[in-house]
Amino acid sequence: MRIESIELRKIFLPYLSPFETSGWREQGSHAIIVRMQADGIVGWGEAPVGENPFYNEENQKSAWSILQDYLAPLLLRVDLASPWDVTPAFARVRGNRMAKAGLEFTVWDLFARREGRSLANLLGGTRDRVEVGVSVGIQKDLPTLLAVVAGYLSEGYSRIKLKIKPGWDIEPARAVRESWPELRLQVDANSIYRLQDAAHLAQLDAFNLLLIEQPLAHDDIFDHAELKRSLKSPLCLDESIVSPDHARWAISLQACDIFNIKPSRIGGLGDAKRIHDLAQAAGMAVWHGGMLETGIGRAVNVALASLPNFTLPGDISANDRYFARDIVQNPFTLNPDSTLTVPTGLGHGALVDEAYLDDITLERWELRA
Ligand code: SMG
Ligand code: MG
């Protein structure tokens, strides 16, 4: 397959409410949306970069320039035998994995459409529904947090993740656990703690958590291995696992019990599937994370989460948890059993609302072969 054109758009799509983590607060999606044409087919993808380089090193401006100056021109020069050829074609460009993923997802969508298959089917998905939960940002006080959690539970979500930071960790976890003794509950620190906080973090063991996600540095594996020995709660890595090699190192060092897999963080679906397979072979569970994607990235995530070793609920909530209006005509809705239905149509299945996408586009750029 030769890609004939690549169109990029910078967007701003406001969230229903700001999302706050241990290190930043964002008001909306600053993703880059990708549209490609090949063999008379149109494919769509998303690089779910943020406004600022606070989750990883990338942001909307950096991804915009790396895509235009390097990745899009490289992709137009390759004859693709399969979507697996994209990642090696980008190997000379270090890092910048979300920018790479935006293009790689789109190529998977094109191949799936050309073969008349769904993306989930092409990836080897085995489920028709995926279990999901909600990631709840840091709130102004405990009563507000309990009201927000109660709201999501009443919508039918059966697993809650709390964002934590020093001063907003033990008490929020305790308050939610006391209110809902049976709730599937987990926490995510986004790299705010250090190894010397081990005794403090061990207090979270009292709350029967599914997991504690990424307490230590974004690029650490070594200290997490030591921290894990002092925690009873399962330890999960997110930011630290950016490639199959990182996954292999973490497994070998016994640095965690569980991986959060986000194909955007990993540079694409190919390497995300490799990590899924490595974890499965090592007897380690994985679950699907989220980057508050628009309906396009969300459809990609749902397809990947249909693979067999995704055995814990994903941070892949229904579109209406994020946006008053999304840029797709077929948003996911939550099933009563806290699942989303895996699309069975062509490609990832998101039907882009191009008129609304135009409305929220800040800048457009196109490259033709
Ligand atoms: O997509 O529902 C979602 C958000 C899930 O908490 C979530 N993601 O570290 O796992 C994580 C965070 C990163 C969000 S960055 C804006
Ligand atoms: Mg995380």
- pLDDT confidence band for 352 (50 / 70 / 90): very high
**Starting from the edge strand earliest in sequence, which strands make up the sheet with 41-47, in order?**
41-47, 32-38, 5-11, 361-368
**Starting from the edge strand earliest in sequence, which strands make up the sheet with 285-288, in order?**
134-136, 159-163, 184-188, 212-213, 235-237, 258-261, 285-288
- Going by the DSSP 8-state scheme, the letter that residue 328 receives in this structure is B
Whether the CB-CB separation of 230 and 212 falls below 8 Å is answered with no
Read off the pLDDT of residues 258-279 as tens digits, 9 standing for 90 and up.
Answer: 999 999 999 999 999 999 999 9
The response to whether residue 191 sits with its C-beta less than 6 Å from ligand 1 reads no
The response to whether residue 314 sits with its C-beta less than 6 Å from ligand 1 reads no
What domains sit in the chain, N to C, each tagged with a CATH number?
5-115+350-368 (3.30.390.10), 121-341 (3.20.20.120)
The structure's pTM equals 0.97
Centroid of ligand 2 to alpha carbon of 191 (angstroms): 9
The response to whether residue 290 sits with its C-beta less than 6 Å from ligand 1 reads yes
pLDDT of residue 289: 98
Helices (H), the chain: 60-66, 72-76, 86-89, 97-114, 119-123, 142-155, 170-179, 198-202, 222-228, 244-253, 263-266, 269-281, 295-304, 354-360
Residue partners of 300: CB distance under 8 A and separation at least 6: 45, 46, 105, 108, 109, 119, 263, 269, 293, 348
Cα 158 from Cα 175, distance rounded (Å) = 17
- pLDDT confidence band for 133 (50 / 70 / 90): very high
Centroid of ligand 2 to alpha carbon of 21 (angstroms): 9
What is the position in ligand 1's atom list of the atom closest to the CA of 19? 16
Q: Find the length of the chain.
A: 369
What is the position in ligand 1's atom list of the atom closest to the CA of 134? 2
Read off the pLDDT of residues 34-86 as tens digits, 9 standing for 90 and up.
Answer: 999 999 999 999 999 999 999 999 999 999 999 999 999 999 999 999 999 99
Centroid of ligand 1 to alpha carbon of 77 (angstroms): 34
pLDDT of residue 148: 98
The proportion of the chain whose per-residue pLDDT surpasses 70, expressed as a percent, equals 100
Cα 27 from Cα 18, distance rounded (Å) = 5
pLDDT of residue 251: 98
DSSP-derived 3-state class of residue 4? coil
Cα 94 from Cα 103, distance rounded (Å) = 15
Residue of the nearest CA to atom 16 in ligand 1?
291
Centroid of ligand 1 to alpha carbon of 21 (angstroms): 8
List, as ranges, residues with CB under 5 A of the ion ligand 2: 188, 213, 238
The response to whether residue 327 sits with its C-beta less than 6 Å from ligand 1 reads no
